[in-house]
Structure 1
């Protein structure tokens, strides 16, 4: 019969084993694994982040300049980009402290226990599916533009869903690298074509007389534009998953700087050039501003981004479900029937839900605003402050530097809450007031 001391030791051992299992590497020992995940170099990670972030977001920015005016919009684009760089560094620090984290659910468990795990995991999954839906919607707009509404928009949406589903079949992030590189080259070229097109078409008049440094605005109209800028910096939801698949996670800051520097520069240049030539006549997505012929060319060039960036974003959500189902089992690294079949079933289910969302909210700006308000406000901004406070709890007022950082991070949390609350109001009102396109309609979404 065990003594009380021995029973206490046995209980402590069981608790330690449970904790070790909960905080285990999600991919396990890959030395002899059939499927290896931790293979990303820092530049590959950076390219995946660029493909995930610089896609649909840049297409909405010229219209935000028209809504806010040139000066306020540029301040917001640069300012929110710098804050996103800081919160990205905090995410990297948080993952270094807790190297078992593979997704937002793991981070939620560290912060708030089992309840946090479920809430954060559901949030990450819904965010990924909404992003997937926005890419299906853009695919529909693209085909309507290129074919001049050749058939029912619902058919175009189904085609987009099936193509994205097929491209989602690879299970590792490294296999997404080529898709991400094609996506980046695609959106960069499409935006460049649009800038050249509007510059050539309106070169005779120079800067548009409709350009304004500031615009008198309502809260609804102004904050709708702000949510589109926030969407342009929505890559943070994928950072934990990308770091987990890096060969050397310590090199994550290099990938982050590659993303944010390129992102801010491209956003400012593209938004300013297109807005200066078109003024308040600029369309959203911006590719539609290039004129009847060149907009078709621009959308054609953008096809790899419309598909590829959606696939990269969707991969994050699919991987969350897959890891949740098979973490710690041999199927994580297996090519067997159950493993492959489960991955395909997860992908098909998520892309089907994404298609339903795209058909239910068939307005590009409205959908981006809703995604920004519900998810990006916290994942890219507010939660960065929460992570920092968790890492520094008990030392927040230990020095002048810590006090300053504490104030900054509390303000970031408040900013995330404000973006979420006001953003939900304006995006909900925009969806309610929009009479341009009906849900589940064959109408021309272009």
Structure 2
């Protein structure tokens, strides 16, 4: 769970401190982390009440029947494809950095698309836990190298702000960037299904949240402390030229392995929906092999189009957060609690307080979705398409 949650999202957090100031950014990281802990706990309660739920499609079916199943499955799949796009985008940034923009950014995008697609072709991902651990070690190593480098050689024009006054939409992008860092909830149902004793989930959840909130604060604060307004997003570009090449090299396993896992999960959901109950589920036939290759190719092609269309790292993460993480990590948990406690909202003062809290959670998810879409759309529009479908160097943003 820790390895799945702490991924690319951590790389945008230092720029959040630079955008809105250290104090409000840390308050938001802690506050949204605390709220994500509660919403994750509610997902555990929903899973305990409906043990057959393994993903958002199953949860949607519980709420709204067949329509909910299709809607939840489609939303989860589209979310995963957008995250796959963020991995292709990060791959192009990494390769432009490592090679000194040796070739067109679109070429690096195509290479990333092909490499990630080929790595997703095996229909079974054995030892996924080991891949996740490797991904986690990779991202931790890259940010540690960056923190050490910026600490040894801080920015010569260092300027730090406790708070900053900026426009509302620009400030709200910071909220969506932080929300993306807590976007792992979409996989919680499947994680709980793998537990020998699902009752142990709260312990794992609290460990996860204590770890990611602590890491987010330390990494964001240290990098911002020594780079100030010169911080980049992804944050690995904040170090010196040589060190950031090393940092991106260390981060490549995360960029590739985590991307492959997301691609596999998205493709497997569609594959199972098509071939469930047929011999093609377990046998290697021409139809099963061809269908799997076609599904994975289609999803990675869409992800590549997304990466080329929104080449700004922060803007892409903000859009993903507004469209999907706002609901999967926050809003839907409130809906699940209200569904579980239907008819009991005013039973006692505790139920009334929890009802108010979960109504707030639903409203918060809706607000992040609506305002986040406006803010990210405005940011993308103001970018004027700069860098979209372009050979420009995107290694510094």
Q: Which of residues 230, 252, 261 in structure 2 aligns to 1:312?
A: 261
Q: Which runs of structure 2 are paired with 1:95-244 in the superposition (5 Å)?
A: 95-172=47-124, 175-202=127-154, 209-244=158-193
Structure 1 residues 369 and 291: alpha-carbon distance in aligned structure 2, compared to 1, 3 A threshold: same
The answer on whether the counterparts of 1:153 and 1:443 sit within 8 Å (CA) in structure 2 is yes
Which segment drifts farther, 240-249 or 256-265?
Answer: 240-249
1:238 is paired with a residue whose SS is helix
Aligned counterpart, 1:380: 329
Deviation string, structure 1 residues 216-266 (Cα, Å, up to 9, x no partner): 121011101111001111111122233334444333333323322211111
1:437 is paired with a residue whose SS is coil
Q: Distance in 2 between matches of 1:155 and 1:296?
A: 19
Q: Which of residues 31, 36, 47 in structure 2 aligns to 1:79?
A: 31
1:137 is paired with a residue whose SS is helix
The answer on whether the counterparts of 1:238 and 1:316 sit within 8 Å (CA) in structure 2 is no
Aligned counterpart, 1:353: 302
Which segment drifts farther, 129-138 or 253-262?
Answer: 253-262
Aligned counterpart, 2:342: 393
Which segment drifts farther, 101-110 or 241-250?
Answer: 241-250
Cα RMSD (Å): 1.8
Q: Which of residues 219, 231, 251 in structure 2 aligns to 1:282?
A: 231
Paired positions, count: 395
Structure 1 residues 258 and 332: alpha-carbon distance in aligned structure 2, compared to 1, 3 A threshold: farther
Q: Which runs of structure 2 are paired with 1:51-90 in the superposition (5 Å)?
A: 51-90=3-42
Aligned counterpart, 2:313: 364
Which segment drifts farther, 135-144 or 234-243?
Answer: 234-243
The answer on whether the counterparts of 1:285 and 1:364 sit within 8 Å (CA) in structure 2 is yes
Aligned counterpart, 1:15: none
Aligned counterpart, 2:247: 298
Q: Distance in 2 between matches of 1:120 and 1:147?
A: 41
Q: Distance in 2 between matches of 1:173 and 1:249?
A: 23
Which segment drifts farther, 273-282 or 326-335?
Answer: 326-335
The answer on whether the counterparts of 2:387 and 2:394 sit within 8 Å (CA) in structure 1 is no
Q: Distance in 2 between matches of 1:170 and 1:91?
A: 31
Q: Distance in 1 between matches of 2:55 and 2:277?
A: 15
1:302 is paired with a residue whose SS is helix
Deviation string, structure 1 residues 312-334 (Cα, Å, up to 9, x no partner): 22233122212222334454344
Q: Distance in 1 between matches of 2:385 and 2:232?
A: 14
Q: Which runs of structure 2 are paired with 1:318-357 in the superposition (5 Å)?
A: 318-357=267-306
Deviation for aligned residue 1:293: 0.8
Which segment drifts farther, 166-175 or 381-390?
Answer: 166-175
Unmatched tracts of structure 1, length 5 or more = 1-48
Q: Distance in 1 between matches of 2:293 and 2:301?
A: 12
Aligned counterpart, 2:352: 403
Greater gyration radius? 1
Which segment drifts farther, 328-337 or 300-309?
Answer: 328-337
Q: TM-score, normalised by structure 1?
A: 0.85
Q: TM-score, normalised by structure 2?
A: 0.95
Q: Distance in 2 between matches of 1:83 and 1:232?
A: 13
Deviation for aligned residue 1:133: 0.3
Structure 1 residues 209 and 148: alpha-carbon distance in aligned structure 2, compared to 1, 3 A threshold: closer
Unmatched tracts of structure 2, length 5 or more = none
The answer on whether the counterparts of 1:210 and 1:280 sit within 8 Å (CA) in structure 2 is yes
2:223 is paired with a residue whose SS is helix
